[in-house]
Amino acid sequence: MKRRTFMSCLGCGAVATVATQTRLFPPVINSLQNAFALGEPKELSSMEARHYKKLPAGGIECGICPRHCQVTDLERGYCGSRENQGDVYRTLVYGKPCSLNIDPIEKKPFFHFYPGTQALSLATAGCNVNCKFCQNWEISQSRPEQTENIDLSPQAVVDLAVQRQTPNIAYTYSEPTIFFEYMYDIAEAGHKHGLRSVMVTGGYIEQEPLRLLIPHLDAIKVDLKSIREDYYKTIVNGELKPVLDRLVQMKKSGIWLEIVTLVVPTLNDTDAEFRDLANWVKVNLGADVPLHFSQFYPQYLLKNLPPTPQATLEKAYAIARSEGMQYVYLGNLPGHPTESTYCPQCNAMLIERKGYRITQQNLVGNHCPKCQQVIPGRF
């Protein structure tokens, strides 16, 4: 892909995926075409990874996520983005994004984090789970040599965000845990320029890397895919308990946190599941943590299932509210009233949304204008 064609993709409404099989977006005028040279796709990164240890008998053990992959020479971990090269573990995706776009922050979704702002969003190839419903499987389930990657250093990402006047940088689309070093360095550099960083993750990360990362982030959105361990084993190919533990860790750290559950027909859509999930969030994280239920569309390995009925999502909403959750939202239902934010005290309309657009913003600071109820978030 030519640099000029790649730059013309920025700012379009969909994810700009730099891949040979992806249809490019129509060219648009882009003032950044001559800002700096992105260059042509180049070789994979060979930067040394963080959070691993060498094993006495040879090989290494990765410590970035709960899998703790033990990797012999010239082999890779489960995610495919890290390789043992002579007992030095190296990240192959540092500075090599395969997707780059500017999105509304509501698309992540964050509803209580600077509503109406934009985020420069990026991803590299790879993931440390294999969700059968993945919406971005073309990159998340690919190896870095299977995607066309652009050389983009952390500072170049920051420069791009500054030039495009996007106050947020979002690590999203695939699983940011697998490009931890790249995310960490971008976020650190971004803070020096007054830019905020948000992580969109499945939460399948180890405690220590997360502890070190959180001071450089401003918000985290976690896909809590189910409250059932068997769902994680059979549908996600992961584990539930580490995700729950990390959610508690995030909440205790004070970072802004929102949660999304994709509701998949016949798999995680029972009344009992909705009730147990909402109750766990209320008890362990708090009733004021925004909880989003999103509509499933047939993708990847679950094309045999229908989209989630609207009535099922409305049931999830009603149950979560009955369990005491104060801010419940339904996703992928543009124009539905549950996209908007209401005061839990007096039910006044605080933020009205139509899809990803903010059509009313009635907050006074972080207070309801009618009853002065404090609304949690970053506004």
Residue 40 CB-half CA count within 13 A? 2
Predicted confidence (pLDDT) per residue in 306-365, tens digit: 999 999 999 999 999 999 999 999 999 999 999 999 999 999 999 999 999 999 999 999
Tell me how far apart the alpha carbons of residues 229 and 242 are, in angstroms, rounded to a whole number.
11
Residues 6+ apart with CB under 8 A from 23: none
Tell me how far apart the alpha carbons of residues 271 and 348 are, in angstroms, rounded to a whole number.
28
Eight-state DSSP code of residue 332 = S
- Domain identity same for 87 and 103: no
The whole-number average pLDDT for the span 72-80 is 97
Q: What is the mean pLDDT of the chain?
A: 91
**What pairing do the DSSP bridges indicate for beta strands 341-342 and 349-354?**
antiparallel
Give the count of beta carbons closer than 10 Å to the beta carbon of residue 217: 24
Tell me how far apart the alpha carbons of residues 99 and 304 are, in angstroms, rounded to a whole number.
28
Residue 339 lies in a domain: yes
Q: What is the pLDDT of residue 296?
A: 98
CB–CB of 276/227 below 8 Å? yes
Predicted confidence (pLDDT) per residue in 87-140, tens digit: 999 999 999 999 999 999 999 999 999 999 999 999 999 999 999 999 999 999
- Domain identity same for 148 and 173: yes
- Domain identity same for 255 and 142: yes
Q: Which of 64, 91, 118 is the last residue of a domain?
A: 91
- Domain identity same for 240 and 353: yes
Q: Which of 38, 71, 91 is the last residue of a domain?
A: 91
Give the count of beta carbons closer than 10 Å to the beta carbon of residue 134: 20
Judge residue 279's burial from the number of C-beta atoms within 10 Å of its C-beta, 0-12 exposed, 13-18 middle, 19 or more buried: middle
- Domain identity same for 174 and 227: yes
Phi, psi of 303 (to 5 degrees): -75, -5
- Domain identity same for 193 and 342: yes
CB–CB of 83/89 below 8 Å? yes
Tokens of 132: 């059968």
In the predicted structure, residue 41 carries a pLDDT above the cut 50: no
- Domain identity same for 110 and 160: yes
Give long-range contacts, CB 8 A cutoff, 24+ apart: 56-60.
58/87, 59/84, 59/87, 60/84, 60/87, 60/89
Predicted confidence (pLDDT) per residue in 256-290, tens digit: 999 999 999 999 999 999 999 999 999 999 999 99
Which residue, 134, 146, 212, 228, is CA-closest to 177?
A: 212
Provide the domain limits for residue 256.
Answer: 99-361
Q: How many structural domains does the chain have? A: 2
- Domain identity same for 159 and 198: yes
Tell me how far apart the alpha carbons of residues 369 and 379 are, in angstroms, rounded to a whole number.
14
- Domain identity same for 223 and 337: yes
The whole-number average pLDDT for the span 169-175 is 98
In 214-306, the DSSP E strands lie at 219-223, 256-263, 291-295
- Identity of residue 289: V
- Domain identity same for 211 and 335: yes
- Domain identity same for 59 and 187: no
CA distances from 342 to 125, 155, 260, 315, 336 (A): 38, 39, 18, 18, 13
Residue 37 lies in a domain: no
Residue 274 lies in a domain: yes
**What pairing do the DSSP bridges indicate for beta strands 52-54 and 47-48?**
unpaired
Q: What is the CATH number of the domain that holds 195?
A: 3.20.20.70
Residue 213 lies in a domain: yes
Which residue, 80, 95, 79, is CA-closest to 47?
A: 95
Q: Which of 27, 56, 91 is the last residue of a domain?
A: 91
Residue 31 lies in a domain: no
- Domain identity same for 129 and 58: no
